[in-house]
């Protein structure tokens, strides 16, 4: 990438992309399973093509290099492609993948795209996928904005942003994911009536998010009473980060509908 191209890229909304060295099992999953579940790096995303045929449709080991052939058994067996009864769901910043995989297992007729820049989190998610046998998940390691920019108009039925990097210092607020430009792209890819679910345990980020969404006429805040933002929505699966309670307030749960 040239310096000019790098200067034109938006600010990163996340911190590190890798921490400790992956364990052998994790490394094996990244090598053998991730290529079958990965969202293409470039070009418009054809959702039907992305989910059909299913990964490894020709049987375990297809597409695995000789170096990773010993990990072929980690690839889940071929199953029918997920139906479209519950639509397309996007989770931005899925962390360790606990919530993403739990939702995919609970809603097998939906299609899930998970995006996470942290390699260790992607490896953790792959382990959850391998253990659960979920077939209706595709993954992207990187910036969610790159994926959203390539999704078709009106393709999303539901989106999750759970406990994103809060960038609590004022000078870093410009790095927060929730910005007017991001909401414009999100509105483009969401169907009318689609829902955006956001959670944070940082009071200032909750206020920031509420202000940005309520200023945008394309989104409607659904809360009618305080209990609506004090308790998680039905079917929520607790994330590893959520359980750590690292923020400065109790979790705030915000739901917005695409007008």
Active site residues: 165
| CA distances to 3, 32, 67, 87, 208 from 70, in Å | 40, 9, 7, 35, 48
Tell me the two tokens of residue 210: 């509420």
- Contact (CB, 8 A) for 37 and 55: yes
Q: Could you give the 3-state DSSP secondary structure of residue 227?
A: helix
What is the Cα–Cα distance from 174 to 119, expressed in whole angstroms? 24
What is the Cα–Cα distance from 194 to 123, expressed in whole angstroms? 29
Tell me the two tokens of residue 235: 């079917």
What is the Cα–Cα distance from 181 to 177, expressed in whole angstroms? 10
Q: In what order do the strands lie in the sheet with 88-92?
A: 137-140, 111-115, 88-92, 156-162, 190-200, 252-258, 219-221
Phi, psi of 45 (to 5 degrees): -90, 115
């Amino acid at each position: 990438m040239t310096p000019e191209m790098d200067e034109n890229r938006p600010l990163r909304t996340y911190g590190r992309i890798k921490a400790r060295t992956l364990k052998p099992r994790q490394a094996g999953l990244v090598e053998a399973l991730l290529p079958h579940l990965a969202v293409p790096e470039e070009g418009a995303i054809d959702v039907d093509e992305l989910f059909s045929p299913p990964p490894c449709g020709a049987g375990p080991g297809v597409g695995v290099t000789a170096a990773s052939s010993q990990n072929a058994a980690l690839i889940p067996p071929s199953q029918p492609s997920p139906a479209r009864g519950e639509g397309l769901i996007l989770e931005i910043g899925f962390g360790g993948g606990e919530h993403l995989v739990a939702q995919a297992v609970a809603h097998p007729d939906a299609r899930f795209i998970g995006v996470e820049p942290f390699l260790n989190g992607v490896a953790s998610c792959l382990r959850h996928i391998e253990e659960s046998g979920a077939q209706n998940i595709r993954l992207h390691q990187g910036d969610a904005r790159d994926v959203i920019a390539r999704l078709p108009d009106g393709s999303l039925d539901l989106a999750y942003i759970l406990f994103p990097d809060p960038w609590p210092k004022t000078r870093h607020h410009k790095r927060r994911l929730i910005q007017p430009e991001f909401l414009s792209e999100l509105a483009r890819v969401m169907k009318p009536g689609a829902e955006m679910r956001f959670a944070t345990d940082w009071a200032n980020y909750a206020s920031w998010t509420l202000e940005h969404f309520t200023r945008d006429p394309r989104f409607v805040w659904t809360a009618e009473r305080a209990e609506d933002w004090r308790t998680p929505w039905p079917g929520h699966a607790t994330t590893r980060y959520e359980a750590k309670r690292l923020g400065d307030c109790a979790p705030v749960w915000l739901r917005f509908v695409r007008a």
